[in-house]
Amino acid sequence: MQVKLRVRRFNPETDSESRIETYDVPADPMDRVLDLLHWVKWNVDGSLTFRRSCAHGICGSDAMLINGTNRLACKVLVREVGDQITVEPLRGLPVNKDLLVDMEPFFASYREVLPYLVNDDPAPDTERRQSQADRERFDDTTKCILCAACTTSCPVFWADDEYFGPAAIVNAHRFIFDSRDQGAAQRLTVLNDKEGVWRCRTTFNCTDACPRGIKVTQAIQEVKRALLFRKV
């Protein structure tokens, strides 16, 4: 089959504004959108720029806007999106070139929520024990691959780039609900901040966008509840 692939392009060295370019790409229904982008890059225009590495939805490099929703290009097959495909960079982050955006604001928010285990007790000789139920409690949010699909689908984030965004809250959740962690109080104080969880309007865009199937909105709600009751 032939796919009409429309790509929003921007070269910082020559363009003042972005533009849409259209390519006719030979494709198989089982091809990934990433395969189509590669086909263009390798056969038509080598300057088409995007990030990718693993090509199977694990590394989080290639989140982009595909037919209007945030997806990983390597995890969407042509048969799911049809023969008219529009690909654009993620919204809400500065575009550096074509589909490649500046991820630094995203990682800056991530770093702020203390995204690491806090436990100052001396470590035992073997493992810290954790029940299966306690381990299950935060299982969902350990799946995050930091692709930014959730955060850049959030209308609050588009309007206010100071907002932490869902991904940072997901990563706070991952530790707040880990029975081994002692940093919840500190993290909750950060998240209680004016740009913290309270800005969330529960639009569920983030949950729909997550390529890992994380229940993002639910995680945010759980963090809000923890804040209200200050216990986890």
Partner 1 sequence: MTQQHTFDVVIVGAGGAGLRAALESSRRGRTAVITKLYPTRSHTGAAQGGMCAALANVEEDNWEWHTFDTIKGGDYLVDQDAAEVMCREAIEAVYDLEHMGMPFNRTPDGKIDQRRFGGHTHHHGAGAVRRSCFAADRTGHMILQTLFQQNVKQGTTFFDEYYVLDLLRAPDDGRAAGVVAYELATGELHVFRAKSVVFCTGGYGKMFKITSNAHALTGDGPGVCYRRGVPMEDMEFFQFHPTGLYRLGVLLSEAARGEGGILRNSDGEAFMERYAPTIKDLAPRDMVSRAIYTEIREGRGAGPDGDYVYLDVSHLDPKVIDAKLPDITEFARTYLGVEPKKEGVPIVPTAHYAMGGIPTTVDAQVVGDAANTVIPGLFAAGECACVSVHGANRLGTNSLLDIVVFGKRAGVNAGEHAATVDHAELGEDPAGAVTRMLEDLAGHAEGERAAAIRLDLQVNMDDKAGVYRTETLLKEMEVELASLRERYARVWVQDTSRRYNTDLLEAVELGFLLDLAEALVVSARARTESRGGHFREDHPVRDDKNWLKHSLASRGDSGVKLDYKPVTMTRYEPMERKY
13-52 residues in contact with ligand FES (CB under 6 A) are 52
Strand partners, 88: 65
Binds partner 1 by CB under 8 A, chosen from 3, 37, 57, 197? 57
Number of residues that bind partner 1 (CB under 8 A): 60
Question: The dihedral of CA 157, 142, 108, 152: what is its sign?
Answer: negative
Q: DSSP secondary-structure letter at 31? A: -
Of partner 1, ligand FES, none, which one does residue 215 interact with (CB within 5 to 8 Å by kind)? none
Would you say 8 and 18 are in contact if contact means Cβ atoms under 8 Å apart? yes
Nearer to partner 1, 55 or 199 (CB): 55
CA atoms within 13 A on the CB side of 156: 20
What is the C-alpha to C-alpha distance for residues 155 and 207, in angstroms, rounded to an integer?
13
**Binding partner of 139, given partner 1, ligand FES, none, CB within 5-8 angstroms per partner class:** partner 1
Task: Name residue, tokens 């689908």.
Answer: 153
Q: Which two tokens stand for residue 25?
A: 């790409």
* H and E: helices and strands count for the chain: 9, 7
- 57 touching ligand FES, by CB under 6 A: yes
Residue 11 engages partner 1 in binding (rule: CB under 8 A)? yes
Binding site for partner 1 (CB under 8 A): 11-14, 30, 32, 38, 41-43, 45-47, 49-61, 75, 77, 96-97, 100, 103, 107, 111, 114-117, 119, 123, 125-132, 135, 138-139, 142-146, 175, 178, 180-181
Binding site for ligand FES (CB under 6 A): 52-55, 57-62, 72, 74
